[in-house]
Structure 1
Amino acid sequence: MVKKESLTSLKLLIFHFHATNTIIISFLPLYLKFKGLTGTEIGWVLAIGPFASIISQPFWGYLSDKYKTVKRMLILSTIGMLIISVIFFQMDSLLTILILGALFFFFSSPVGALSDSLAQRQAQQLKISFGSIRMWGSVGFAFSSLVVGEILTKFGIQVIVWPYVIIGTILLIIAFTISDVKSEEESTPVNLADISMLLKNKPFIFFLLFMMFITITHRANDSFIGIYITEVGGSEGLVGIAWFVGVISEAAVFAFAGLWFRKYSPITFVIIASILYCIRWFIYGMAPSPYFIISFQVLHGVTFGIFYIAAFDYVTKLIPNLLQSTGHLIFYSVMFGVSGIIGSMAGGKMIEAFGGQIMYLGMGLFTLLGIFCLVGYQIWMKRLEVKVKTAGT
């Protein structure tokens, strides 16, 4: 049974991981620019993260299921993340930055997915909403974006390693205090052959494929909203405010998930969030000023918050308990890894060739195609359920 003390520790762990993640997402590009890298070279370094996550997240998920522990995998990956980060931030040449960057992301990328997997299990046992736990990641992101931003403004981007290591060390200490959540099926050993169960799971695979129509646009926005805001006349300060508004609204959606999430099926909420994503991209594509974009950044919380909670819960229902961590990390690697690579590359080409407005209008059309796919998927799944019920009678 999960103790309340362990739940508090997990919330603190999620808070501090996303606080460290903010430093990488928001300030690493500026640090690499300070190091003298060109825009193209910075793009290569940032692309290393999604590439590494495609390999590392299923790998760590498999180890977690095989050895029946999320806690130990979190501790090991956090230790690796901390050690490599100190070396990574000292590198100056592009080659060494790329090599150390790949190692860094190999250890850091699974921490968020493993903690979310553990949060989902604890939420199920305690009969509380997953969002009420996951919201602490959004709070950590918002807190770090303001505090670390002020520190770097005062002391310079070159001190980025210190807030990262300090927050990361607190994260490691907290990781030792969390508890694993055991399921009834966890006495069964897991081997590589069991992974084929997921690959043969057609509902799981098709959902991931159709989901990518939405997540590719989400990741493209993550990469280029800052550039787009400056393109329509904004400053770096307004970019920070836009992120803060978006993440605070995300935390609110996660916090109140228990009030709305069970009203409809998870796949219905995925479709609702996708429709809102589509509307959001078309609105951004017509933005006359940076303040217009910031005023609609509350939609970030509504779109990503609803989509992530619903998709994560739906995937949990599609995969067996025996392979929960593996399935969750495959989901994570598709949503943030594969989608990140495609979104960054395609978005970069579009914004360079046509500008931000055309990029966002294109994202709206691509999302619309994804909505049709997800609606078709929902109809297909309902027919499958009817066939199963008919066969059982």
Structure 2
Amino acid sequence: MNLSASKNAYIRISLCLFLFYFSWSATWSFLAIWLGDNVGFTSTQIGYTLSVNALFALAIKPVFGFIMDKLGLKKSLLTCVAIASVFAAPFFIYVYQYFLMTSMVIGMILGGLYLGTAYLAGVLVFETYADRYSRAFGFEFGRVRMWGSLGWAIASIFAGQLFNINPHFNFMITSCGAVAVLLILLTLKTQGDEIDWQAVNESRKDPVNRKDVRVLFQHASFWVLMLFYGGIIWMMQSAEQQFPRYFVTFFADHRTGNAVLGYMGFVQSACEFILMFSIPFLINRIGARNGLLLAGFFIGLRLVLSALATHPWMIIVIKPLYGLEMALLLVSIFKFLAEHFDKRLTGTIYMVLGCFNYLGITAINPLAGYFYDKYGFAYTYMVMGCIAWLITLIGIKFLGKQKAISLQELPG
């Protein structure tokens, strides 16, 4: 492996993820607050809106996963996602808010289609590609993904203050950042002798087909992974999507809460950035299976502690745990897939997992919104945290106990 080529590849793919996450941090971090304060939705209505977004992502992700496995190192799909992200500002300012306030169903459908493509499924396209690109040039995916966390963190520093001035500024940052992503994509090298084509799975010689994907669903190991990973993600993401609205209630006014939320987003993502550099060493030592189980434990812990918090300093201390959870999940899941499944199917399996995750989130978000309105955030988070712990206990018994799957061993 040419060290100079590997270093250049690392810098460019890292910068690509940095800019993509920087762009969307400014908008996504405050989506629930925007829906509540600017659109005027209740927690239940926000839950339905987020569920529609998840439903569209559910439909789009497996298609994107299948395309990614066919494309190898080609950048076509990344370019499409980046172009869609360029239109974030006009979409939010002139389309999304207008239809949500005048025709909620149409607004939800349009939002689901756009956000499902540009962010919810798009982020997995970038992460899957970054994992494949990392293997192609011989460096750790975690050390690439950490730059995405840094991008999210830096945008968070000023995102809360900008939101207090006018949310339109946040949407404009997303659009401008996406333009920069497109420019970086043009510089990514996808041909040459320096690339480890075996690591890229040599898809042209032995392409992924529908039968390979269909047969996966006949194996217990795949179902165990889906149920465990999906279960803890359901609790984690359903809680996180409206967590900003809970967070700001600890402060005297929402403007102060919005500003502190932005600063804490920086701290959380900075922790994730640091951990994405160090977590690979931990996972290599304890194993990907134990990394996933550890993530499940911390997800439950953060939710239970959030439910018990009574002062601003408590919720501020608890918030950065999300960065640890993300680092553990992102590094562990790709290593787990590489250990237990054929590497050529990594993109497809990760997208199927994402699809399954959003299927659960689609069902849970309206229910969680109803519980927020009826019983409050604290009670709901306590329930979610205990469920995450229960899933983790079941995972200790069953996760990763089955034989690894190779395409050559799959029945015809």
Instruction: Tell me how far apart the structure 2 counterparts of residues 198 and 300 of structure 1 sit (CA, whole Å).
Output: 31
1:329 aligns with 2:329: no
Match of 2:22? 19
Question: How far is the alpha carbon of 1:246 from its aligned partner?
Answer: 1.8
Q: Structure 1: state its 5+ residue gaps.
A: 386-393
Which of 382, 388, 395 is the aligned partner of 1:367?
Answer: 388
Q: Structure 2: state its 5+ residue gaps.
A: 405-412
Which of 174, 192, 202 is the aligned partner of 1:185?
Answer: 202
1:10 aligns with 2:22: no
Match of 1:121? 132
Match of 1:93? 99
In the superposition, relative to structure 1, how do residues 34 and 219 fare at CA in structure 2: closer, same or farther (>3 Å)? closer
- Listed as ranges, the matches of 1:239-250 within 5 Å are 239-250=261-272
1:230 aligns with 2:257: no
2:180 partner amino acid? I
Indicate the SS of the match to 1:195: helix
Which of 319, 322, 343 is the aligned partner of 1:297?
Answer: 319
- Listed as ranges, the matches of 1:327-366 within 5 Å are 327-335=349-357, 337-366=358-387
1:110 aligns with 2:116: no
1:281 partner amino acid? L
Match of 1:80? 84
State whether residues 30 and 157 of structure 1, in contact with CA within 8 Å, keep that contact through their aligned partners in structure 2: no
Compare 85-94 and 27-36 and name the one that shifted more. Answer: 27-36
In the superposition, relative to structure 1, how do residues 282 and 83 fare at CA in structure 2: closer, same or farther (>3 Å)? closer
1:51 aligns with 2:55: yes
Q: Provide Cα deviations, 1:125-148, integer angstroms capped at 9, x if missing partner.
A: 444332111011111111112234
Instruction: Tell me how far apart the structure 2 counterparts of residues 152 and 379 of structure 1 sit (CA, whole Å).
Output: 44
Q: Provide Cα deviations, 1:102-142, integer angstroms capped at 9, x if missing partner.
A: 33124213332122122222333444332111011111111
Give % identity.
19
CA RMSD after TM alignment: 2.6
State whether residues 148 and 163 of structure 1, in contact with CA within 8 Å, keep that contact through their aligned partners in structure 2: no
Q: What is the total number of aligned residue pairs between the two structures?
A: 381
Compare 136-145 and 275-284 and name the one that shifted more. Answer: 275-284
Instruction: Tell me how far apart the structure 2 counterparts of residues 228 and 37 of structure 1 sit (CA, whole Å).
Output: 16
Which of 146, 151, 154 is the aligned partner of 1:135?
Answer: 146
State whether residues 292 and 332 of structure 2, in contact with CA within 8 Å, keep that contact through their aligned partners in structure 1: yes
TM-score by length of 2: 0.83
In the superposition, relative to structure 1, how do residues 340 and 178 fare at CA in structure 2: closer, same or farther (>3 Å)? farther
Q: Provide Cα deviations, 1:25-46, integer angstroms capped at 9, x if missing partner.
A: 2233454456644335444333
Match of 2:407? none
1:145 aligns with 2:163: no
In the superposition, relative to structure 1, how do residues 189 and 379 fare at CA in structure 2: closer, same or farther (>3 Å)? closer
In the superposition, relative to structure 1, how do residues 147 and 319 fare at CA in structure 2: closer, same or farther (>3 Å)? same
1:129 partner amino acid? E
Instruction: Tell me how far apart the structure 1 counterparts of residues 38 and 382 of structure 2 sit (CA, whole Å).
Output: 34
State whether residues 269 and 323 of structure 2, in contact with CA within 8 Å, keep that contact through their aligned partners in structure 1: yes
